[in-house]
């Protein structure tokens, strides 16, 4: 079977309100009021036939393998080049294979249907398998003309082939006549039109019925075999009359889109055909006729495969994506029909070096960059050396196409001074998902459509025209998609997860939900009793695996015990054997053995700690090794409100659960540089662990599904959270954290305080007002050792007046406490940025202090700050710890020695 295997369409976003033409030119041509209804599509200033054709083909190739395309025809009467194959530019822009045939089919409005018919016959003749047919037109007319109202700009694309055919080609019939209702002479910009009545009566209403009649006879069908009738006709009344003459009931006739788009020349029969395919059901017969110096008539039968076609924009999507304008002058300027002064800046040389265009054709026309074979980093442009500083390998770049990679706005500007046909000129940095970025012009947008982080799609557009040499230069621009500004969906492409204790309760839900999103899951469960007693059973894990497979997911069962190191190792090995690795680990397996403290015998204590705490260690350790190797990992630990807040009768369980929080706090630091994120969930949900502790109605509400969403998010690659604890219960979600109060220093940090002094300062010690989270133990200890800075202004004026940095260093020797410096040997280097900054060093040795401007040779500790912040710090208005954690104070070298500064120097108030 041969026929259409895919389709696509492109109608420019801009629509001109036809009334705007009348409003501007009605004084001159009052008769155009008769046709001034509705709107016509119009190209943006950077669009032409070729850019529209590329857009339609990209739509058509959605979900198709480009490598199978072995021919491309471009059909149009308005090709940008008369002698430079336009289909060749299309092929380069789309990065189609080099070994294909390309051709321009032109000089008639029938070019679209003729191109399609030719492709069908070539595939039928078996010399080629998949031919792309793109048709596009952007026709010009003189201003204030009926045809200016009637015409529109647009493109359609069809893929012709012999596999996965959605509309089978059944036959065609053509008639050819040198019928000159209009013509465009050599070098002319506009068509010369003959009388409309003659075109209607001698042209449309004779050739279309003749070709259709010939086709019906040739393949032995009647109008009863046709459910969709497609033929363009400029005149609405004539269109209806011809349909009637053909015997086609009005509901079979596809709308000409006159009111909403206008007639798009050689593209129009194919554009209407795409609209017909969008509405068609399997079994429908479609009649397609293209008029122009004769007529081509083709018949197709729609197949079941049409239902499987991936989503695309098509005619429907193109029509929905619109911006109507009422500014006729804009229409004229965008089409270069008026030439306002562009200023001297507009005179920049535009000559293209054909040698460079040839050498860099993939990069410039095809938006092809590079991707490092060794580290996988994409970059644009492609270079000899990988941009990844950790890689830097030479000659490892493979071609990498950026045109279809999702991207977002990183920076942008609206420039009113740059030369632009449509100011402000909007451009900025575009960041591609997975890596790679470049500065791009933005198009099809207003400044208000741009926001950092918004998604953009790349579009092939005209970058400049070299009018002197008749050359159009093309490149790729970014089109902001404010409507699609939502973040991408939570993704797990190709990931492998281990969920321990996944045979029931929460673990089962996690496994099912992960599998639904394409994760390959190792469903681990020992299948023991609630208190961990018994030999275990394979049934719980097997049941969950069966459920996953029944709904099309991938999973294997594993029955190993997390409580032993061998068990943990075996679980991870199972993932490696079945799926090649592990990316996600949810430590969820758990048991309960509740007893009040005095009844908590060692075996109950041990059993619970062994499953929860040791169990998480046993599985995480081998999994962490795989993740580290891969440079990716997501781990979720399971804690509990019992551990975080306490619960009567659960000393064993609370200890184990809080132990897991400590485990996470350290592992988050060890995993950080390998992109291993680790978080902890504190769920509340109905399961066998809670069935006898929750009242029945509460038990009913607490579905484990409420917990799955947050756990899956924590496992996803989009999630950058690490080292955090989250409560989750029946739709409630919150973060729990360990906070540290501001505290106080007693006895200047030197004199040991008595219990009485502690008691007297209890309010300050006990207060958590202004408490904060601390990222790691070192930071915590530093914050404890940094005494609150003196409140008074320091004496730091270099010459009287306000204190300055230089003055502070001048006063350092005075502020030096020689007694505190006994036995200390340290050199501090200060690097103070800002207008009042500079470099100073302070060397402390043998209880003496030497201060000097410039850089020390081997500083022990280097302190970097902005001048303002430094003055604030010395004045006691900025807390040292706060400055450090907020990044205002950077310490290099021996961090611990920086704490000496406060002890060694005391600025007097
Ligand atoms: P559950 O009993 O339904 O599920 C736990 C699963 O772990 C069971 O299928 C069990 O067979 C399995 N398991 C037990 N020991 C194992 C071992 N040694 N090796 C392998 N598998 C083992 O309970 P659930 O409520 O779904 O609990 C899941 C996790 O959530 C547990 O860690 C639990 O402590 C924690 N948690 C649950 C709640 C809640 O409200 N349900 C609250 C806080 C914490």
The distance in angstroms from the start CA to the end CA of the chain is 94
Cβ atoms within 10 Å of 755's Cβ, excluding its own? 7
Question: What SS3 string covers 364-433?
Answer: HHHCEEEEECCCCCEECCCCCECCCCCCCCECCEEEEECCCCCEEEEEEEEECCCCCCCCCEEEEEEEEC
Q: How far is CA 125 from CA 115, 134, 161, 465, 829, in A?
A: 15, 20, 11, 41, 81
User: What residues contact 78, with CB distance under 8 A and at least 6 apart?
Assistant: 48, 49, 136, 137, 138, 139, 140, 265
CB of 157 within 6 A of ligand 1: the answer is: no
pLDDT in the model for residue 487: 59
> Residue 796 above 60 pLDDT?
no
What's the angle, vertex CA 75, arms to CA 69 and CA 79, rounded to 5? 115
CB of 689 within 6 A of ligand 1: the answer is: yes
Q: Tell the residue nearest (CA) to atom 41 of ligand 1.
A: 685
User: What residues contact 905, with CB distance under 8 A and at least 6 apart?
Assistant: 812, 815, 816, 817
What are the start-end ranges of the E strands in 700-754?
A: 725-729, 732-736
d(CA 263, CA 265): 6
pLDDT in the model for residue 789: 46
Q: Tell the residue nearest (CA) to atom 43 of ligand 1.
A: 640
Q: Which of 173, 66, 175 is nearest to 120 (CA)?
A: 173
d(CA 105, CA 318): 25
The upper half-sphere exposure of residue 182, i.e. CA atoms within 13 Å in the direction of its Cβ, equals: 23
Q: Tell the residue nearest (CA) to atom 3 of ligand 1.
A: 505
CB of 643 within 6 A of ligand 1: the answer is: no
User: Among 43-47, 93-97, 412-416, 788-792, whose mean pLDDT is lowest?
Assistant: 788-792
What are the start-end ranges of the E strands in 696-815?
A: 725-729, 732-736
d(CA 881, CA 772): 11
Distance, C-alpha 532 to centroid of its chain = 45
pLDDT in tens, 258-287: 999 999 999 999 999 999 999 999 999 999
Q: How confident is the model at residue 817 (pLDDT cuts 50, 70, 90)?
A: confident
pLDDT in the model for residue 159: 97
Mapping DSSP to helix (H, G, I), strand (E, B) and coil, where does residue 458 land? Answer: strand
731 backbone φψ class: left, alpha, beta (φ>0; ψ -120 to 50): left
CB-CB contact of 263 with 38 (8 Å) = no
Residue 530 CA to ligand 1 center (angstroms) comes to 8
Q: How confident is the model at residue 485 (pLDDT cuts 50, 70, 90)?
A: low
Q: Which is the closest atom of ligand 1 to the Cα of 729?
A: 40
Spell out a b/e string for 39-49, using b for 16 or more CB atoms within 10 Å of the CB, else e: bbbbbbbbbbb
pLDDT in tens, 62-88: 889 999 999 999 999 999 999 999 999
Q: How confident is the model at residue 786 (pLDDT cuts 50, 70, 90)?
A: low
d(CA 109, CA 651): 84
Q: Which of 590, 594, 655 to mutate to test the pocket of ligand 1 (most atoms within 8 A of CB)?
A: 590
Q: Which of 545, 576, 579 is nearest to 559 (CA)?
A: 545
pLDDT in tens, 431-468: 998 899 999 999 999 998 899 989 999 999 999 999 88
For residue 786, give the DSSP letter. S
d(CA 238, CA 256): 12
Q: Which two tokens stand for residue 563?
A: 């409580």
- Residue 775 has φ and ψ, to the nearest 5°, of -75, -30
pLDDT in tens, 604-642: 999 999 999 999 999 999 999 999 998 999 999 999 999
Q: Which is the closest atom of ligand 1 to the Cα of 530?
A: 2
Question: CA torsion 460→466→467→470, rounded to 10°?
Answer: -80
- Decide the pairing of beta strands 861-866 and 890-893: antiparallel
CB-CB contact of 427 with 440 (8 Å) = yes
CB of 397 within 6 A of ligand 1: the answer is: no
Residue 644 CA to ligand 1 center (angstroms) comes to 17
Mapping DSSP to helix (H, G, I), strand (E, B) and coil, where does residue 635 land? Answer: strand
For residue 831, give the DSSP letter. E
Mean pLDDT of the chain: 91
CB-CB contact of 639 with 682 (8 Å) = yes
pLDDT in tens, 836-873: 788 989 999 888 888 888 888 889 999 998 888 888 88
> Residue 229 above 60 pLDDT?
yes
Q: Which is the closest atom of ligand 1 to the Cα of 501?
A: 7
pLDDT in the model for residue 85: 97
Spell out a b/e string for 160-196, using b for 16 or more CB atoms within 10 Å of the CB, else e: bbeebbbbbbbebbbbeeebebeeeeeeeeebeeeee
Q: How confident is the model at residue 792 (pLDDT cuts 50, 70, 90)?
A: very low
d(CA 31, CA 33): 5
CB of 640 within 6 A of ligand 1: the answer is: yes
> Residue 799 above 50 pLDDT?
no
Helix (H) or strand (E) holding 901, with range, is helix 900-904
> Residue 806 above 90 pLDDT?
no
pLDDT in the model for residue 168: 97
Helix (H) or strand (E) holding 473, with range, is strand 471-480
Residue 301 CA to ligand 1 center (angstroms) comes to 57
DSSP annotation string for 579-648:
HS--SEEE--------B-GGG--HHHHHHHHIIIIIHHHHHHHHHHHHHHHHT-EEEEEE--HHHHH--T
Q: How confident is the model at residue 743 (pLDDT cuts 50, 70, 90)?
A: confident
For residue 94, give the DSSP letter. T
Residue 661 CA to ligand 1 center (angstroms) comes to 17
Strand-pairing partners, residue 157, are 8, 134
What's the angle, vertex CA 154, arms to CA 148 and CA 160, rounded to 5? 145
- Residue 45 has φ and ψ, to the nearest 5°, of -65, -20
Q: Which two tokens stand for residue 13?
A: 């976003």
CB-CB contact of 10 with 52 (8 Å) = yes
Q: Which two tokens stand for residue 16?
A: 């001109």
CB of 609 within 6 A of ligand 1: the answer is: no
CB-CB contact of 275 with 264 (8 Å) = no
Q: Tokens 């159009």 appear where?
A: 472
Residue 505 CA to ligand 1 center (angstroms) comes to 7
CB of 74 within 6 A of ligand 1: the answer is: no
Question: What SS3 string covers 215-282?
Answer: HHHHHCCCHHHCCEEECCCCCHHHHHHHHHHHCCCHHHECCCCCCCCCECHHHHHHHHHHHHHHHCCC
Q: Which positions are annotated as active-site residues?
A: 653
d(CA 728, CA 566): 32
Residue 387 CA to ligand 1 center (angstroms) comes to 46
d(CA 774, CA 53): 57
Question: Rounded mean pLDDT of 242-249?
Answer: 96
């Amino acid at each position: 079977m041969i026929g259409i295997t895919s389709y696509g369409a492109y109608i420019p976003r801009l629509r001109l309100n036809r009334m705007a033409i009348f409003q501007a030119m009605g004084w001159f041509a009052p008769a155009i009021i008769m046709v001034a209804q509705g709107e016509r599509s119009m190209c943006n200033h950077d669009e032409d036939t070729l850019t529209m054709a590329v857009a339609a083909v990209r739509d058509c190739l959605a979900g198709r393998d480009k490598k199978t395309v072995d021919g491309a025809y471009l059909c149009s009467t308005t090709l940008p080049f008369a002698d430079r194959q336009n289909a060749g530019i299309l092929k380069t822009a789309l990065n189609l294979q080099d070994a294909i045939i390309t051709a321009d089919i032109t000089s008639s409005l029938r070019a679209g249907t003729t191109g399609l018919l030719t492709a069908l016959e070539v595939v039928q003749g078996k010399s080629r398998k998949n031919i792309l047919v793109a048709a596009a037109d952007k026709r010009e007319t003189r201003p204030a003309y009926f045809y200016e109202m009637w015409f529109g700009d647009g493109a359609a694309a069809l893929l012709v082939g012999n596999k996965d055919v959605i509309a089978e080609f059944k036959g065609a019939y053509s008639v050819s006549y040198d019928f000159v209702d209009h013509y465009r002479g050599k070098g002319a910009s506009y068509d010369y039109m003959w009388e409309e009545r003659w075109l209607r009566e001698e042209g449309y209403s004779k050739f279309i019925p003749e070709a259709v009649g010939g086709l019906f006879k040739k393949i032995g069908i009647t109008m009863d075999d046709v459910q969709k009738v497609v033929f363009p006709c400029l005149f609405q009344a004539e269109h209806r009359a011809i349909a009637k003459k053909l015997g086609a009931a009005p509901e079979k006739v596809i709308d000409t889109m006159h009111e909403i788009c206008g007639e798009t020349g050689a593209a129009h029969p194919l554009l209407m055909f795409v609209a017909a395919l969008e509405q068609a059901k399997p079994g429908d017969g479609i009649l397609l006729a293209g008029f122009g110096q004769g007529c081509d008539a083709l018949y197709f039968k729609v197949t079941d495969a049409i239902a499987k076609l991936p989503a695309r924009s098509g005619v429907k999507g193109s029509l929905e994506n619109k911006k109507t304008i009422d500014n006729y002058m804009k229409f004229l300027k965008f089409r270069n029909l008026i030439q306002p002064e562009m200023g001297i800046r507009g005179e920049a040389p535009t000559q293209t070096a054909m040698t460079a265009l040839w050498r860099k054709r993939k990069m410039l026309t095809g938006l092809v960059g590079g991707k490092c074979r060794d580290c996988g980093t994409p970059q644009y442009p492609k270079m000899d050396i990988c941009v990844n500083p950790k890689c830097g390998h030479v000659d490892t770049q493979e071609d990498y196409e950026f045109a279809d990679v999702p991207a977002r706005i990183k920076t942008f500007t609206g420039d009113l001074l740059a030369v632009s046909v449509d100011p402000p000129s909007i451009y900025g940095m575009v960041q591609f998902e997975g890596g790679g970025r470049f500065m791009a012009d933005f198009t099809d947008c207003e400044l208000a459509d741009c926001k950092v982080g918004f998604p953009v799609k790349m579009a092939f557009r005209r970058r400049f025209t070299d009018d002197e040499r008749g050359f159009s230069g093309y490149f790729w621009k970014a089109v902001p998609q404010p409507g699609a500004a939502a973040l991408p969906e939570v993704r797990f492409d190709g990931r492998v997860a281990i969920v321990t204790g996944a045979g029931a309760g929460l673990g089962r839900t996690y496994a099912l939900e992960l599998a639904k999103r394409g994760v390959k899951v190792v469903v681990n469960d020992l299948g023991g009793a609630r208190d961990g007693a018994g030999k275990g059973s394979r049934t719980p894990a097997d049941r969950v695996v069966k459920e996953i497979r029944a709904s099309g997911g991938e999973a294997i069962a594993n029955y190993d015990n997390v409580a032993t190191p061998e068990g943990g190792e075996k679980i991870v090995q199972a993932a490696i054997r079945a799926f090649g690795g592990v990316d996600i680990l949810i430590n969820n397996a758990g048991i309960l053995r509740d007893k009040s403290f005095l009844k908590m015998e060692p075996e109950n204590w041990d059993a619970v700690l062994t499953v929860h705490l040791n169990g998480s260690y046993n599985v995480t350790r081998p999994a962490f090794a795989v993740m580290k190797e891969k440079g990716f990992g997501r781990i979720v630990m399971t804690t509990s409100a019992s551990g975080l807040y306490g619960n009567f009768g659960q000393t064993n369980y609370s200890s184990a659960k809080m132990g897991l929080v400590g485990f996470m706090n350290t592992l988050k630091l060890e995993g950080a540089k390998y992109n291993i994120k680790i978080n902890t969930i504190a769920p509340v949900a109905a399961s066998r662990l809670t069935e006898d502790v929750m009242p029945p109605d509460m038990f009913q509400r607490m579905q484990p599904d409420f917990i799955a969403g947050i756990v899956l998010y924590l496992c996803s690659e989009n999630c950058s959270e690490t080292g955090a604890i989250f409560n989750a219960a029946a739709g409630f979600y919150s973060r729990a954290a360990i906070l540290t109060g501001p505290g106080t220093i007693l006895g200047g940090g030197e004199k040991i305080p008595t219990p009485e002094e502690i008691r007297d300062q209890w309010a300050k010690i006990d207060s958590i007002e202004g408490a904060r989270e601390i990222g790691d133990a070192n930071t915590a200890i530093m914050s404890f050792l940094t005494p609150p800075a003196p409140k008074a202004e320091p004496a730091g004026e270099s010459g009287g007046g306000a204190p300055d940095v230089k003055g502070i260093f001048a006063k350092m020797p005075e502020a030096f406490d020689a007694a505190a410096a006994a036995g200390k040997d340290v050199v501090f280097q200060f690097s103070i940025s800002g207008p009042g900054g500079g470099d100073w060093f302070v060397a402390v040795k043998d209880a003496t202090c030497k201060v000097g401007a410039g850089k020390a040779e081997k500083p022990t500790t280097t302190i970097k700050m902005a001048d303002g912040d430094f003055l604030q710090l010395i004045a006691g208005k900025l807390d040292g710890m706060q400055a450090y954690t907020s990044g205002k104070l950077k310490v290099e070298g021996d961090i611990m020695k920086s704490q000496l500064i406060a002890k060694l120097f005391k600025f007097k108030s």
